[in-house]
Amino acid sequence: MTHGARPAVNPILTGTRAARVRGHPTGRRRLMAAAIAGILGPVAFTAAWITAAFRQGGLSFAMPQISGLAASDARDPWLMISGFVLLGGCAIGFGAELGVALGGSRRAGPGPVLIQLAGALTIAAGLLRRDHMLLTTGPESWHNHAHDIVSALVYVLLVAAPLLLARRFSSDQRWRGLAAPLVASSAASAAVLVAFYSAPHDSWDATLQRIAVSLPLAAIVAVAVRLLVVADPADPASPGDANAGRHAHPG
């Protein structure tokens, strides 16, 4: 080695290209797994409440709310509890990898974090079961009250997360097509929730609740499908960074 020559630098050790080393092939597998989780969770949860609602003998399919299907007096409550837990776990994993694919917490915005928080609270809502399948008057347990509070927080997060993602996507050419549908989904879900809470114990309650929950879950599925198409795990900073090349040094 001649005098004054710089020693070779291993980019893996220095971390200067850690994102690319991580992204191929391990990052690709992680991204695919997270995107599949973003699809699997909502699909499994929806299948769980549809199946459970049909299995309540002598009761109309439209009568029980989703939470009631996990109550102790419901038939096969484990089916709905499993749906809650699976949806929550998948949302946590999906939100984490979505944030990475969008360039990290500062560039991704709070949307992916809200998805993770909604996932954690969804698991709590499933484990904090209601006392009865159908809403009844009379004393209620602490976990019944806790379930109602946690569920309300989940509703808020499911409305807010797509709105924040839409704001992030609006400035990103590869994600921009989802911005308007996400806003429409949140607006529709919020309107249905207002109707749901304004007329409690009405015969339409269960139907309104199911619509209000299904709309943001469909939005999450759309984002997960898009993630498989547009995100490049070889460079997590690249999605949405339209100005990245403008500040790069030539050569």
More confident residue, 251 or 39: 39
| pLDDT surpassing 60 at residue 48 | yes
Residue 16 lies in a domain: no
Q: Encode pLDDT of 140-172 as tens digits.
A: 899 999 999 999 999 999 999 999 999 999 989
Polymer length of the chain: 251
pLDDT at 232: 52
pLDDT at 245: 39
Q: Which residues are CB-neighbours of 242 under 8 A, at least 6 positions away?
A: 171, 172, 173
Phi, psi of 160 (to 5 degrees): -75, -40
Residue 17 lies in a domain: no
| pLDDT surpassing 70 at residue 105 | yes
| pLDDT surpassing 50 at residue 201 | yes
The rounded distance, in Å, linking the Cα atoms of 94 and 218 is 14
- The residue-averaged pLDDT of 12-22 equals 38
Within 13 Å and on the Cβ side, how many CA atoms surround 97?
27
Q: Which residues are CB-neighbours of 223 under 8 A, at least 6 positions away?
A: 38, 98, 165, 178, 182
| pLDDT surpassing 50 at residue 13 | no
Number of compact structural domains in the chain: 1
The rounded distance, in Å, linking the Cα atoms of 109 and 239 is 13
- The residue-averaged pLDDT of 199-218 equals 88
Residue 192 lies in a domain: yes
Residue 194 is encoded by which pair of tokens? 């207002």
Residue 222 and residue 175 in contact, taking contact as beta carbons nearer than 8 Å: no
pLDDT at 137: 63
Residue 249 lies in a domain: no
- Mean of pLDDT over the chain: 84
Residue range(s) defining the domain that contains residue 101: 24-133+142-232
Residue 239 lies in a domain: no
Q: Count other C-beta atoms under 10 Å from residue 15's C-beta.
A: 10
Residue 164 is encoded by which pair of tokens? 């924040």
Residue 175 lies in a domain: yes
- Picking from 39-43, 126-130, 183-187, 233-237, which range would have the lowest pLDDT averaged per residue? 233-237
| pLDDT surpassing 70 at residue 89 | yes
Q: Encode pLDDT of 68-83 as tens digits.
A: 999 989 999 999 999 9
Residue 185 lies in a domain: yes
Residue 177 and residue 230 in contact, taking contact as beta carbons nearer than 8 Å: no
pLDDT at 24: 53
Residue 14 lies in a domain: no
Q: How confident is the model at residue 58 (pLDDT cuts 50, 70, 90)?
A: confident
Question: Does residue 25 have a cis bond before it (omega within 30 degrees)?
Answer: yes
| pLDDT surpassing 50 at residue 240 | no
Q: How confident is the model at residue 200 (pLDDT cuts 50, 70, 90)?
A: low
CA angle 174, 177, 183 (to 5 degrees): 125
